[in-house]
Amino acid sequence: MPQKSITDLVIVRNFLEVIGGKETIDLIKICERKRKAFTDEEISKKMEKKVTEVRAILNKLHFRGIATYQKSRNQKTGWYNYTWEINKPRIANLIIEKQKEYLNKLDEKKNLEEDYNFFDCKDCNERLPFEIAAEYNFICPSCGGKMNTISDPQTQKEIQKKINKIENELVILTEIKE
C-alpha cells in the first residue's frame, strides 16, 4: 500500500494550487517521501524543473509558513546552502481556519433558511420573509404579482450536504495537524 499523502485530499490540492501553482502538489509529494530536510537542488532533480522554479515555489510556501529553511555556508565555495523542510501541520491548520470560516457562513445561511418562511413572487424574482409578505397581503410590492410560499427543502438539503462534507474534511485535517 502506498503511503497516504496529505495531497490525497482534494481540498489540500486546491489550496496548494492556489498558493503556488499546480507543481506545488508534486513538490509536497516529493518532500513527504523524503521525510527529512532537503535542498532545492535535490527537489529540482526529482521534479525535473529548474532550481529557480523550485525556489520560486518554496518562497511562496515560506511566505505562508509552510516551508522553512536553514542556511549554512559551504566552507569550500563560500556560498550558502539552503535546506528546506515542509511543515505539514501548518498546511492542515491554514485550511482548517479557512474552512471553519466557510462553515460559519453555511451555518448562518442554513439558520436563515430555517428561521424564515420565504414567499416568492410568481412574476418577478422578489423574495420576502413571511412577516413582510404578510404586510403586503401577499401581493408583490415590486410588480403586484401574487406571492406564494416556497418551502425549499432542496436548498436546505444542499447546505447540509456541504456542511457534512466540510466537517468530514476537518476531522481528517485535524488528524494531520496533531
Chain contacts with Zn ion (rule: CB under 5 A)? 121, 123-124, 126, 140, 142-143, 145
Nearer to Zn ion, 9 or 147 (CB): 147
88 contacts 94 by C-beta, under 8 angstroms: no
Instruction: Give the amino acid at 59.
Output: N
Residues paired with 72 in a beta bridge: 81
Q: At its nearest, how many Å lie between Zn ion and the CB of residue 139?
A: 9
Nearer to Zn ion, 33 or 122 (CB): 122
Separation of alpha carbons 43 and 149, rounded Å: 60
- Classify burial at 86, counting beta carbons within 10 Å of its beta carbon; exposed 0-12, middle 13-18, buried 19 or more: buried
Q: At its nearest, how many Å lie between Zn ion and the CB of residue 128?
A: 10
> For residue 134, is it left (φ>0), alpha (ψ between -120 and 50) or beta?
alpha
Q: At its nearest, how many Å lie between Zn ion and the CB of residue 143?
A: 3
Q: At its nearest, how many Å lie between Zn ion and the CB of residue 120?
A: 9
Tell me how many degrees the CA angle 28-30-68 measures, rounded to the nearest 5: 50
Q: Radius of gyration (Cα) for the chain, nearest Å?
A: 25
Nearer to Zn ion, 112 or 139 (CB): 139
Nearer to Zn ion, 15 or 119 (CB): 119
Q: What is the DSSP track for 131-154?
A: HHHHHTTTB-TTT--BEEE---HH
Q: At its nearest, how many Å lie between Zn ion and the CB of residue 99?
A: 37
Nearer to Zn ion, 21 or 145 (CB): 145
